[in-house]
């Protein structure tokens, strides 16, 4: 079985179906556009990985050695704040690619997670915040920058010349050039990730292996416990920026934004909802709105407003990735439907009561007139 396993390419080593060749990692400048970073990394992973492997196999030295030059190059010379986000965007791109490739795209996605994880292990605690929690700025997409090697009129001979020098088959190089053109040029992979940080992109991309690593979990725990904060004050002029919590400088009311405390208040909030809901069921009154029911309406309105704020802060991609967000929308929908139906019922009952009262009052007036004795003439 070991002899039948496909070989992965290595720097200066054998490659499946090809002769020896050298694969150089991409050079990424600090001011490189995000789209160009994604394109360069995509070319590298497509060239480097042509056989399916699991995540655990890529972690071993015998299979994952092809990723070591890229990890070393990024950790030593790359200082771009969006490099981790670019790797995770590429993970999402490969995960949503063609599934009839015997798992090669899944392997490339795993490779993106491993490179991002290993890159983070070379950073300090302050640098981890900068790379993991830096939000992507708006980007301008230029389709011409994704033409690939095979689409530029001057790149055909250059690609063939490079393939001959390295001992590779020119036809294979042309095929890979068309592959990377079709995989990147046909879509805008960055458009839906604007405003998200690397952790949020990992959640949207389903990068569970990346999120489960200790260096990432340490940052997640620090955010949960409030050791890392995004706001230092509640002022409208304050800007969102991830930093370590400083008790002497931060506004104490900003501790209300700490996820651990927010979830505690949410638990009390839902307990209040259950109490109001039970009280409305016990005190059913189809003829008027009771004070308890009015409080339930106020709760539904406050919950809807809070959910709208979460949607605005998270963005649509990250918001829909959370199942409980969709559950909250269902709660709001049911609450609105209840408010509309109950108000309609009150109006109907009120109109029926008025129709029954008016004939009864006319009959009573007639009966009273018949029973009143006539005035005698004097």
Instruction: Tell whether pTM > 0.85.
Output: no
Q: pLDDT (tens digit, 9 = 90+) per residue, 253-297? A: 888 889 999 889 989 988 998 999 899 888 877 777 888 988 998
Residue 15, SS3 per DSSP: strand
Question: Hey, CA dihedral for 83, 84, 85, 89, is it positive or negative?
Answer: positive
SS3 247: coil
pLDDT value, residue 63: 83
Per-residue DSSP letters for 149-171?
TTTSTTHHHHHHHHHHHHT--HH
Rounded Cα gap, residues 259 and 146, in angstroms: 40
As a whole number of angstroms, the distance between CA 193 and CA 65 comes to 30
CA 366 to chain centroid: 73
How confident is the model over 161-178, as a mean pLDDT?
40
Tokens of residue 325, six digits: 């967000």
Q: Can you list the alpha helix ranges (DSSP code H) found in 191-258?
A: 198-205, 208-211, 214-225
Higher-pLDDT residue of 123 and 19 is 123
**Model confidence band, residue 217 (pLDDT cutoffs 50, 70, 90):** very high
Burial class (CB in 10 A: 0-12, 13-18, 19+), 248: exposed
**Residue 98: phi, psi to the nearest 5?**
-65, 125
What is the average pLDDT score of the chain?
Answer: 76
Q: Name the pLDDT band for 40 (thresholds 50, 70, 90).
A: very high
State how far the Cα of 86 lies from the Cα of 70, in Å rounded to an integer.
Answer: 14
Helix, strand, or coil here: 283?
A: coil
User: Is the pLDDT at 88 greater than 90, yes or no?
Assistant: yes
**How many C-beta atoms surround the C-beta of residue 94 within 10 A?**
25
Place of tokens 């990424």: 28
> Counting beta carbons within 10 angstroms of the beta carbon of residue 195, is it exposed (0 to 12), middle (13 to 18) or buried (19 or more)?
middle
pLDDT band at residue 4, thresholds of 50, 70 and 90?
very low
Position with higher pLDDT, 179 vs 107: 107
Cβ of 211: how many Cβ atoms within 10 Å?
Answer: 17
Confidence of residue 226 (pLDDT cuts 50, 70, 90): very high
For 325-365, how does the pLDDT look when each residue is reduced to its tens digit (9 = 90+)?
878 888 888 888 888 887 777 777 677 665 555 555 555 55
Q: What percent of the chain has pLDDT over 70?
A: 71
CB 97 within 8 A of CB 103: no
b/e map of 278-317 (b: 16 or more CB within 10 Å)? eebeeeeeeeeeeebbeebbebbeebbeebeeebeebbeb
By DSSP bridging, strand 243-244 and strand 228-229 are: antiparallel
Q: What is the pLDDT of residues 106-157, one digit of tens each?
A: 999 999 999 999 999 999 999 999 999 999 887 654 544 444 433 333 444 3
């Amino acid at each position: 079985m070991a002899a039948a396993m496909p070989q992965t390419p290595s720097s200066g080593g054998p490659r499946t179906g090809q002769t020896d060749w050298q694969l150089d990692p991409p050079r990424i400048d600090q001011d490189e556009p995000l789209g160009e970073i994604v394109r360069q990394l995509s070319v590298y992973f497509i060239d480097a990985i042509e056989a399916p492997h699991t995540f655990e196999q890529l972690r071993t030295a015998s299979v994952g050695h092809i990723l070591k030059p890229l990890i070393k190059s990024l950790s030593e010379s790359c200082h771009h704040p969006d490099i981790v986000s670019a790797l995770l965007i590429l993970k999402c791109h490969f995960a949503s690619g063609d599934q009839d490739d015997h798992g090669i795209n899944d392997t490339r996605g795993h490779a993106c997670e491993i490179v991002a994880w290993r890159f983070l292990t070379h950073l300090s605690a302050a640098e981890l915040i900068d790379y993991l929690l830096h939000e992507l700025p708006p980007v301008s997409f230029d389709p011409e920058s994704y033409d690939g090697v095979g689409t530029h009129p001057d790149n055909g001979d250059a690609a063939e010349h490079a393939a001959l020098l390295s001992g590779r088959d020119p036809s294979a190089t042309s095929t890979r050039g068309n592959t990377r053109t079709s995989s990147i040029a046909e879509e805008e992979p960055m458009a839906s990730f604007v405003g998200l940080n690397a952790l949020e992109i990992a959640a949207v991309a389903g990068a569970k292996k990346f999120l489960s690593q200790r260096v990432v979990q340490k940052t997640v725990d620090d955010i949960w416990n409030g050791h890392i904060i995004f706001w230092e004050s509640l002022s409208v002029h304050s800007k969102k920026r991830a930093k370590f919590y400083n008790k002497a400088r931060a506004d104490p009311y900003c501790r209300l934004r700490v996820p651990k405390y927010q979830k505690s208040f949410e638990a009390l909030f839902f307990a209040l909802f259950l109490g109001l809901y039970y009280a409305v069921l016990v005190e059913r009154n189809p003829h008027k709105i009771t004070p308890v029911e009015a409080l339930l309406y106020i709760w539904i309105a406050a919950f809807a407003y809070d959910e709208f704020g979460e949607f605005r802060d998270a963005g649509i991609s990250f918001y829909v990735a959370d199942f409980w967000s969709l559950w909250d929308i269902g709660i709001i929908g049911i609450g609105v439907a209840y408010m509309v139906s109950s108000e309609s019922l009150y109006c109907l009952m009120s109109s029926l009561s008025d129709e029954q009262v008016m004939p009864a009052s006319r009959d009573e007036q007639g009966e009273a007139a018949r029973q009143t004795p006539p005035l005698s003439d004097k």
